[in-house]
Amino acid sequence: MAAFDRKDKSRYETFSRRAMLLGGGMTAVFGVLAGRLYQLQILQGDRYMTQAEDNRVNQRLVAPLRGRIFDRFGVPLAANRQNYRLLIVPEQAPAGVAAVLDAIGKIIPLGEAQKSRVLKQASINKKFVPLTVTENLSWEEFARLNLDLPYLAGVQLEVGETRDYPFADETAHVLGYVAAVSPEDKTEDDPLLDLPSFRIGKRGIEKTFDKKIRGRGGQSRIEVNAYGRVIRELGRDPGQPGEEVYLTLDREIQHFVHERLAGESAACTVMDCTNGDVLALASTPGYDPNSFNVGISATEWKALTENDHKPLINKALSGLYPPGSTFKAAVALAAVEDNVVSPDFAVVCTGKTSIGSHDFHCWKKGGHGRMNLHNGIKQSCDVYFYEVARRLGVDRIEAAAKKLGMGEPTGIEIPGERAGLVPSRAWRQATFGAPWQQGETLILGIGQGYVLTTPIQLCMLAARVASGKKVSPRIVHSVGLERSQSAQAEPLDFSERTLTLVRAGLNAVTNEGGGTAYAYRIAEAGMEMAGKSGTAQVRRISAQERLTGVRRNEDLPWELRDHALFIAYAPVHAPRYACAAVIEHGMAGSRVAGAICRDVLLFTQKRDTANRPPAYPVTAASAGAASGAAP
Amino acid sequence: MTARPYAAAKSTLSIPEKLLEINWGLVLLITLIACVGFAMLYSVAGGHFDPWASRQLVRFAFGFVILVAVALIDIRVWMGLAYPAYAISLVLLVGVEIAGRVGMGAQRWIELGPLQLQPSELMKITLVLALARYLHALGPGEISRPLKLLVPLAMIAVPAALVLIQPNLGTAGLLGLCGVLLLFLAGLSWLWIAPAAIGIAVAVPMTFEFLLHDYQRRRVLTFLDPESDLLGAGWNITQAKIALGSGGASGKGFLEGTQSRLNFLPEKETDFIFTILGEEFGFLGAVALLILFAVVIAYGIQIALAARSQFARLLAMGITINFFLYIMINAAMVMGLIPVVGIPMPLVSYGGTAMMTVMFGFGLLMSAHVHRQVEIPRHAAGFGIDSAT
């Protein structure tokens, strides 16, 4: 037994030693494990915490409500309409998506293409992803679906917001429109641009103030599981709705002007001479901006782009027209101011004048006879103004035109405005590589040749002559709480005497017998208008044609007929409103454009926007006192 | 005989006396760890006993009975059963291998009525028993003789190879490592150990290249660079590390873990249960569990050192090593220290077979404790209750 014991003892000692060694090894392993835990949980805990949050929380962008746009009296011109949508959540439809679609088809019309699109999406997406079946449901359809909702397992009805322009084409050129974000629009770093349903301002006021109208996107923090299923909403930041814009526009006048221009390719603007507020800015034909919101159809787009009346162009700002005889107001101002002609200086009009071998014709074939400043304006005698222009020279005409705001954009808050053109010697040399010709000065004197203006510039011309101040058009009254400053207009750089003389001529045009627009005067006492007609040739009349007899406009194809222009202001003795109308290929300045200006100014004065209490939103300063008061 | 009256007396302890001899402190510790498991399974189910915690509770209760029953059975009976049990395990292991080949894919268990028996789990216990019995009979130094060494090496290698081709890399490694450590405890000469260690260092890359299945090799590769395949095989490791790490020092709080509740963690109720603890109770909770485990292991080593027979010592140590390897492999795996292999956390992970194996093992450990004074002659054939009298 002793040997057994001894041997056993030796084995026991080896075992004990090695067991303790093993125990030490195990302790070391536990130490390593604890160290690893320390590394993961204490040292790198923050990093993994962030990753766990990333895992768990999905940030979803919530589109803000786009700011509305109002006219000066608070009539919404661009608003947000509720858009009723129908969705299917496949996993909640035990009968299957196809069966649900059939059931929906019995309640509202549903095309086969729509059905197959939804079924295709259902096969691609996970079962809990809601699929859009149809959008823009009518209220009636929406109500009927709601009624049957208990029997339509898996169907969800949703209300979204869509931009809505209640006056459609009437305000299209002012407001512009919103449309889906294109890759070129993604120049800024706003995550909203990546939202598939997001719309961005593409033209007009919608574009100019897009960032302010857009608002700031909100965020919804959603807890999701590993498969992306939404578990619950953890928190919501509603974001900031877009700022609301008040325009100086008067929707009633805008409507009247738009109607008055119906059928023409024309532009007409009305502005307040005293402060530049644009009351109406119309360009016809218009287009329906609502079409762009959901995505315009190819046929609709084709019709818009191929129309020879160019509905997509805002002619009031982007249409370039020779000002024709309306430019004589500017030439007359320059001539009197610079004492080139006295009011009594007279020219005998025989129907034409000549420089070298070139003949320059008056619009009146037989001539006007003896013409002074007053009659020259009143009867729009071309020969008189040829002579005045010849004496003035191009430089002084250029200077006067620029003082009146031609040749550069007026700065109105709508994108796409063009500068027009006031020609000069330097421009002539730079563009054609040849010096200015005296004949060109004569042509310029009657607003033909190189000079080009936009209707808004012509309106501003009328407003400046009427007020004697450097008024510029503006169309935005306020964006959010920020009021756009209407700078106190400085006096025009023409003497009062000059202005009075020219105004008298413009008054004679409409209010004295023999004036070119006497037939289109405003007869209502105290509302009389002064104005100047213009007829801009769009073709050259050859000497041959003059011999055989100038073809009448009515005999020409539409696109070769003269443009009809008219500028006016009223009331004549205390000017308040200025108006300019350009009717493309309208043929006769007074008969067509003059009549429009007359009607528009009469309507505007009768409505008397200026003397109404302003209905702009209460400002922050007055909000405390007027809180609760209805606007 | 008078020199050891105690041993003789203890060899015939009555059942109540044996019950008193059970180390109830250790049993309490085991129960405590199991309770941590219940809490975690309750949390993983989103605050419900169903489907995991309740069933695990029943299994533990069943396992508890097994533990006590096994502890009361005389150590010499277990010694006598060692070889037959090993032989049966081996046959079953070959059986599932054949059944797996005949059927489709890898089958690792045998249906025994309501129970699923995994022969590889059974082998973890029976291999320890058989090795302990074989090594018990060897004199000092005898183990280092090549012929004597060949037998236990074969006893280890055959089941390990069978499990490896199942394929179950984790369990095969566990069997091999456990067996080799028992040889080491039995006094295997360093002259054998040193070259073997070098051999393994050479063999591992070779194994990786030629013996591993594609999916096993992928596991190893994604372990080395989990970010390379974030949504594929690397997902497990990455998400487990996020769960652990995001727990921070004191955790997100019970039932507040987001990784598990939102299904970011795969196999969260089984192999990756430890990460839930780390997420909800943080560094403190995870280390506390490791300490509990360490105390259990210390108990195991203490029991082994206190036993008088070499069989009981090796058995106790073998069970302890097994338990330790489970913990080490599982913990290292979920912490991203070793590749993902299918080894659960003992007592904590959800799973019937593993629970039974572990509780049976603790029963044997407890039997070694209860019968620590029993001496067994080196050449006893087992069932030798009367050999000491």
Q: Tell me what pLDDT residue A282 has.
A: 94
Note whether A20 contacts B301, CB cutoff 8 Å: yes
Q: Is A157 helix (H, G, I), strand (E, B) or coil?
A: strand
Higher pLDDT, A296 or A211: A211
Q: Tell me what pLDDT residue A559 has.
A: 79
The overall average pLDDT reported for chain A is 85
Give how far Cα B112 sits from Cα of B86, B109, B116, B118, B145, Å: 19, 9, 6, 10, 41
Q: Which of A27, A32, A41 lies closest to B247 in CB terms? A: A41
Kindly state whether A519 is in contact with chain B, defined as any CB-CB distance less than 8 angstroms.
Answer: no
Q: Is the pLDDT of residue A602 over 90?
A: yes
Q: Tell me what pLDDT residue A614 has.
A: 66
| Most A CBs within 10 Å, among B138, B236, B246, B378, to test the A interface | B246
Residue B386 covered by a domain: no
- B24-81 pLDDT, tens digit per residue, is 999 999 999 999 999 999 998 888 898 899 999 999 999 999 999 999 999 999 999 9
Distance in angstroms (rounded) separating the CA atoms of residues B333 and B316: 26
Q: Residues A266-293: what's their mean pLDDT? A: 90
Express the helix, strand and coil content of chain A in percent, nearest 5 each. Answer: 45, 20, 35
Residue B143 covered by a domain: yes
Could you tell me which chain B residue has the CA closest to the CA of A27?
B294
Q: Which of B248, B259, B304 lies closest to A45 in CB terms? A: B248
Note whether A7 contacts B335, CB cutoff 8 Å: no
Q: Tell me what pLDDT residue A216 has.
A: 86
Tokens at A44, concatenated: 């790198």
Q: Tell me what pLDDT residue A253 has.
A: 94
All residues of chain B having their beta carbon less than 8 Å from the beta carbon of residue A42 are 248-249, 283
Could you tell me which chain A residue has the CA closest to the CA of B183?
A15
Q: Is A539 helix (H, G, I), strand (E, B) or coil?
A: coil
Residue B104, min C-alpha distance to chain A (Å): 30
Q: Which chain A residues in 229-268 lie under 8 Å from chain B, judged by CB atoms? A: 231
Spatial CA neighbour of A565 closest among A541, A594, A523: A594
Q: Tell me what pLDDT residue A52 has.
A: 81
Residue B382 covered by a domain: no
Q: Which of A33, A48, A225 lies closest to B246 in CB terms? A: A48
Number of structural domains (chain B) is: 1
Q: Residues A289-314: what's their mean pLDDT? A: 84
DSSP H or E stretch at residue A571 = none
Residue A17, min C-alpha distance to chain B (Å): 9
Q: Is the pLDDT of residue A1 over 50?
A: no
Could you tell me which chain A residue has the CA closest to the CA of B307?
A12
Q: Tell me what pLDDT residue B264 has.
A: 72
The reply to whether A138 belongs to the active site is: no
Q: Which of A19, A34, A51 lies closest to B301 in CB terms? A: A19
All residues of chain A having their beta carbon less than 8 Å from the beta carbon of residue B245 are 40-41, 44-45, 47-49, 51-52
Note whether A26 contacts B297, CB cutoff 8 Å: yes
Spatial CA neighbour of B241 closest among A223, A37, A53: A37
Tokens at A604, concatenated: 């505007």
Q: Residues A504-512: what's their mean pLDDT? A: 92
pTM of the model: 0.63
All residues of chain A having their beta carbon less than 8 Å from the beta carbon of residue B324 are 26, 29
User: What is the percent of chain A where pLDDT is above 90?
Assistant: 41
Spatial CA neighbour of A506 closest among A542, A532, A480, A471: A532
Note whether B139 contacts A11, CB cutoff 8 Å: yes
- A51-67 pLDDT, tens digit per residue, is 887 777 777 777 788 99
- A324-379 pLDDT, tens digit per residue, is 999 999 999 999 998 888 888 889 998 888 888 888 888 888 888 899 999 999 99
All residues of chain A having their beta carbon less than 8 Å from the beta carbon of residue B332 are 33, 36
Distance in angstroms (rounded) separating the CA atoms of residues A543 and A521: 35
Tokens at A403, concatenated: 């003082």
Q: Which chain B residues in 124-153 lie under 8 Å from chain A, judged by CB atoms? A: 139-140
Could you tell me which chain A residue has the CA closest to the CA of B263?
A226
- On the question of a common fold for A60-247 and A251-286+314-474+490-607, the answer reads no
Q: Tell me what pLDDT residue B38 has.
A: 95
Distance in angstroms (rounded) separating the CA atoms of residues B86 and B94: 12
Domain A251-286+314-474+490-607's class? alpha beta
> Could you say which of A318, A325, A424, A478 is catalytic?
A325
Backbone angles phi, psi at B376, to 5 degrees: -125, 125
Q: Is the pLDDT of residue B1 over 60?
A: no
For chain A, the domains span 60-247, 251-286+314-474+490-607
Q: Which fold has domain A60-247?
A: Penicillin-binding protein 2a (Domain 2) (3.90.1310)
Pairing state between β A577-583 and A563-570: antiparallel
Note whether B264 contacts A16, CB cutoff 8 Å: no
Note whether B290 contacts A42, CB cutoff 8 Å: no
Range of the domain at B324: 5-370
Residue B326 covered by a domain: yes
